Structure 1
Amino acid sequence: MAKFLNTSATNYFLEEMIKDAKDRLILISPFLRLNDRVKELLADKNRLKIDVRIVYGKSELQPEEIGWLNALSYVRTSFCRNLHAKCYMNEELCIVTSLNLYEFSQVNNNEMGVLIRRSEDAELYRDAYEESQRIIRISEEVRITLERVAAPGDVEKSDEDEPTAKLTSSKLGQRLKLKTTELMEKLVSLGYLEIREGKHYLTPKGKDSGGEFRMSPKHGPYFLWPHDFKP
């Protein structure tokens, strides 16, 4: 049966769960700022080539967090809008809790949670796993970078050193004298974007035209378009 966890027990079992993961590890937390101990454990999972999925929902990642995550080949990070769930699981254990995977929460907050063991509560574990998979499916998988958005007039260099520049959807809309919402509707109607479960996704046509999906640590997901793009 499920076991009640207070703050210290939640932190203890979270570390043990990460350490004992043999096949997969899922970490779902709106806020993400990892302490040194969790980073050490995740780096070890990466060395062992364990599949790690991290889903977060607040675009407040710090530069050092971004650089560290980028260095881990087997850790995939996704952004989920309106995420409030906190769930951590490996192939045998699941923790559903109020605890964010955030240094401040782990040290300063009073938290509660429950520990579910697959061997004792197979159905409950399966329900939590299936919901975690659903959250992963509706999330945008991103390769987080520190690249800044090109401002109007900025010129970036391509691999061939040819000057190129790209605009955000809002800047492109300004250039075309369209509101951002009007531009997005137009891009959908012309097949450059598609809407799935309330989110915009680039279509093959959009990618072929030079459109790119990006994730800003400060502002969240956005699209970039070639400066000479004419939808």
Structure 2
Amino acid sequence: MAKFLNTSATNYFLEELIKTAMDRLILISPFLKLNDRLKELLEDKNRLKIDVRLVYGKNELQPEEINWLRELSFIRTSFCKNLHAKCYLNEKSCIITSLNLYEFSQVNNNEMGVLLNRAEDSELYRDAYDEAQRIIRISDEVRMSLERISTADPHSEKVEEAEPETGWTKLTSSKLAKKLGISTKELMEKLTVAGYLEIKEDKHYLTPKSKEMGGEFRMGKFGPYFLWPESISVEPVEP
């Protein structure tokens, strides 16, 4: 039978929901911002190789937190535009609440929630689970990374905080530079000399040549970036 939760009960049962997850854990919250207690619980789920999915609408992680999250291979993150739902599920129970993850374990806010048990509230649980899966399907899975791109182009200097998990054999400029053992600035220069990029008003643009060989410009959730085929050659061709 569904159970009403006040502030303290929401915090308690959310922690229990995370701790008792043995098969899967879905955490849907508008803000990706984690406190120390939640990090500790997620690290334990990762050690147990539990499938964890974090769905968020806005990333508020600090650089060190992004690096921390990158190391947790069993935790996947997804970005969902216009997300306002707060729903937390494991294979046995579900909490629908006003509590954001970053407010977890805090008692200064007045929160409400409802706890659903899969065994006793099977239809309600199924409806909530199906909606959670729909939100995951319309979300973009991202791989957390934090890489400063140093280039001569002041408009191209940015932080790539996340890249889509596409399965393509294409790399961002920073990843390609790392593979080739050169700096991103040097790579951008080589791509320009090779005719794959052109500079207009201090900005880099793809040329028709680069588009023919598969170069792409992307506007991601965390800013613009280029994608390049792994096999691209940036060395001058011998006459």
| Smaller-chain TM-score bracket | 0.7 to 0.9
Alpha-carbon distance in 1 for matches of 2:11, 2:109: 11
**Is the Cα–Cα contact under 8 Å of residues 78 and 140 in structure 1 kept in the other structure?**
yes
Q: Does residue 148 of structure 1 match 2:153?
A: no
Alpha-carbon distance in 1 for matches of 2:132, 2:227: 36
Q: Does residue 130 of structure 1 match 2:130?
A: yes
Distance 1:131 1:213, change over 3 A: farther
Alpha-carbon distance in 2 for matches of 1:225, 1:93: 42
**Is the Cα–Cα contact under 8 Å of residues 32 and 100 in structure 1 kept in the other structure?**
no
Alpha-carbon distance in 2 for matches of 1:135, 1:158: 34
Identity of aligned pairs, percent?
65
Deviating 4+ runs (over 4 angstroms): 153-156, 212-215
Alpha-carbon distance in 2 for matches of 1:226, 1:17: 40
> Counterpart of 2:225 in structure 1: which amino acid?
L
Gaps of 5+ in 1: 167-171, 177-182, 184-205
SS at match of 2:137: helix
> Counterpart of 1:224 in structure 2: which amino acid?
Y
Counterpart in the other structure of 1:23: 23
> Counterpart of 1:102 in structure 2: which amino acid?
Y
Alpha-carbon distance in 2 for matches of 1:72, 1:214: 26
Counterpart in the other structure of 1:14: 14
**Is the Cα–Cα contact under 8 Å of residues 142 and 214 in structure 1 kept in the other structure?**
no
Alpha-carbon distance in 2 for matches of 1:51, 1:20: 13
> Counterpart of 1:81 in structure 2: which amino acid?
K
Counterpart in the other structure of 1:68: 68
- 1:25 CA displacement: 0.2
SS at match of 1:147: strand
Gaps of 5+ in 2: 158-172, 190-196, 206-210, 229-239
Counterpart in the other structure of 2:117: 117
Alpha-carbon distance in 2 for matches of 1:214, 1:225: 9
Counterpart in the other structure of 2:225: 224
Write out per-residue CA displacement over residues 91-129 of structure 1, whole angstroms, 9 at most, x where no aligned residue: 000000000000478343111000000011101000100
**Is the Cα–Cα contact under 8 Å of residues 57 and 80 in structure 2 kept in the other structure?**
yes
Counterpart in the other structure of 1:165: 188
Alpha-carbon distance in 2 for matches of 1:29, 1:134: 15
**Is the Cα–Cα contact under 8 Å of residues 24 and 51 in structure 1 kept in the other structure?**
yes
Counterpart in the other structure of 2:57: 57
**Is the Cα–Cα contact under 8 Å of residues 77 and 142 in structure 2 kept in the other structure?**
yes
**Is the Cα–Cα contact under 8 Å of residues 218 and 227 in structure 2 kept in the other structure?**
no
Counterpart in the other structure of 1:195: none
Alpha-carbon distance in 1 for matches of 2:126, 2:55: 19
Alpha-carbon distance in 1 for matches of 2:76, 2:58: 16
**Is the Cα–Cα contact under 8 Å of residues 34 and 102 in structure 1 kept in the other structure?**
yes
SS at match of 1:16: helix
**Is the Cα–Cα contact under 8 Å of residues 54 and 76 in structure 1 kept in the other structure?**
yes
Distance 1:225 1:103, change over 3 A: same
Counterpart in the other structure of 1:186: none
Range with greater deviation from structure 2 (30-39 or 71-80): 30-39
RMSD: 3.4
SS at match of 1:34: coil
Alpha-carbon distance in 2 for matches of 1:85, 1:103: 14
Counterpart in the other structure of 1:211: 216
Distance 1:213 1:48, change over 3 A: farther
